[in-house]
């Protein structure tokens, strides 16, 4: 009996019950909306010099990269030439991945150190349209700066190696220690003056840098590398010195942040060619 009565009552108030449920549901939606619009919105955080790096950088995985045919080497009144010395190493691949993801070109001044192990990396540099520059074969100061003959022998050795791998005879050069180095004085007086003159005579193009990431000194963190670069870049030509030696992990970690800052501040990226404005240090020997 009781059950029948309940059934009867429900049937009698069927429509009002449905209306009440619908109303409650609508009230819930409205309440949810009000809470949403009143809650603080996430703000876009622009990277500024002296940023603190809280997040860990995950290296880009090559199989996650879909961008093809990179490197529109755009030269503007605010151009950055990223240069990486002393590679290739296992880190070079990560640098190439970042450059590919960001769709920008760079320049690598290679040595013979681990080149046989990373032939495929050199070929990838070529395929992805970066500049492969020469940094000497041995990078051994006491050998290369002891005579003009040794320097050119060593340079030709790496040039030949790059040619065997890529078919390119590079004419883009960076002297170990830069053309301002004074270490060479220990081995041969005035050798840098003679070498740089001969390079120019032989139609080679040597490049120093005007922005030092300072990643060559041992204790640099990714934060300090980032700050060293972004605090110094300016309008005109910026040739940035970095390294892709196996020990320079923090350089790789700083790189995406440097690129992000540069892009957000109107810089374009280009690779070094023979037509790039010559950034030459003062020669001290």
Binding interface with Zn ion (CB under 5 A): 85-86, 176
Residue among 59 and 187 whose Cβ is closer to Zn ion:
187
Residue among 133 and 256 whose Cβ is closer to Zn ion:
133
**Residue facing Zn ion at closest CB distance:** 85
Q: How far is the CB of 86 from Zn ion (least distance, A)?
A: 5
Q: Are 26 and 203 in contact (CB under 8 A)?
A: no
User: What is the DSSP track for 43-56?
Assistant: PP----TT----SP
Residue among 86 and 97 whose Cβ is closer to Zn ion:
86
| Exposure b/e, 55-80, CB count within 10 A at least 16 = b | eebeebeeeeeeeeebbebeeeebbb
Q: What share of residues in the chain are helix, strand, coil (percent, to 5)?
A: 45, 10, 45
Q: How far is the CB of 186 from Zn ion (least distance, A)?
A: 17
- Rounded Cα–Cα distance for residues 69 and 59 (Å): 21
Residue among 100 and 248 whose Cβ is closer to Zn ion:
248
Ranges of H-type helices in the chain:
2-12, 14-38, 92-102, 119-127, 141-144, 148-166, 191-201, 222-230, 249-264
Q: How far is the CB of 85 from Zn ion (least distance, A)?
A: 4
Q: Which residue has the tokens 């081995």?
A: 187
Q: How far is the CB of 196 from Zn ion (least distance, A)?
A: 16
Residue among 209 and 226 whose Cβ is closer to Zn ion:
209
- Rounded Cα–Cα distance for residues 168 and 166 (Å): 5
- Rounded Cα–Cα distance for residues 176 and 191 (Å): 13
Residue among 57 and 216 whose Cβ is closer to Zn ion:
216
Q: How far is the CB of 217 from Zn ion (least distance, A)?
A: 13
Q: How far is the CB of 174 from Zn ion (least distance, A)?
A: 7
Q: How far is the CB of 53 from Zn ion (least distance, A)?
A: 26
Residue among 84 and 152 whose Cβ is closer to Zn ion:
84
- Rounded to the nearest 5°, which phi and psi values hold at 236? 95, -150
- Rounded Cα–Cα distance for residues 38 and 231 (Å): 38
- Rounded Cα–Cα distance for residues 81 and 86 (Å): 16
Residue among 144 and 258 whose Cβ is closer to Zn ion:
144
DSSP conformation class of 39:
S
Q: How far is the CB of 125 from Zn ion (least distance, A)?
A: 17
């Amino acid at each position: 009996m009781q059950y029948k009565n309940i059934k009867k009552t429900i049937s009698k108030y069927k429509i009002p019950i449905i209306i009440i449920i619908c109303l409650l549901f609508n009230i819930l939606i409205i309440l949810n909306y009000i809470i949403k619009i009143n809650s603080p919105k996430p703000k876009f955080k622009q990277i500024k010099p002296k940023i603190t790096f809280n997040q860990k950088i995950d290296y880009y995985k090559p199989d996650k990269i879909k961008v093809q045919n990179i490197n529109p080497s755009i030269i503007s009144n605010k151009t950055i030439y990223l240069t990486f010395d002393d590679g290739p190493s296992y880190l070079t691949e990560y640098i190439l991945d970042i450059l590919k993801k960001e769709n920008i070109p760079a320049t690598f001044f290679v040595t013979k150190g681990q080149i046989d192990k990373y032939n495929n990396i050199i070929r990838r540099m070529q395929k992805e349209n970066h500049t492969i520059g020469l940094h000497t074969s041995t990078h051994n100061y006491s050998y290369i700066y002891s005579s003009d003959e040794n320097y050119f022998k060593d340079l030709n050795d790496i040039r030949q190696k790059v040619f065997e791998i890529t078919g390119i005879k590079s004419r883009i050069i960076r002297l170990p220690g830069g053309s301002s180095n004074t270490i060479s004085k220990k081995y041969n007086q005035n050798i840098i003056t003679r070498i740089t003159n001969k390079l120019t005579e032989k139609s080679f193009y040597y490049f120093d840098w005007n922005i030092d990431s300072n990643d060559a000194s041992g204790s640099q963190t990714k934060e300090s590398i980032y700050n060293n670069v972004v605090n110094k870049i300016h309008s005109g030509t910026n040739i940035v010195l970095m390294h892709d030696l196996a020990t320079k992990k923090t350089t790789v970690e700083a790189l995406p942040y440097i690129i992000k800052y540069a892009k957000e501040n109107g810089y374009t990226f280009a690779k070094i060619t023979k037509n790039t404005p010559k950034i030459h240090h003062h020669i001290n020997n």
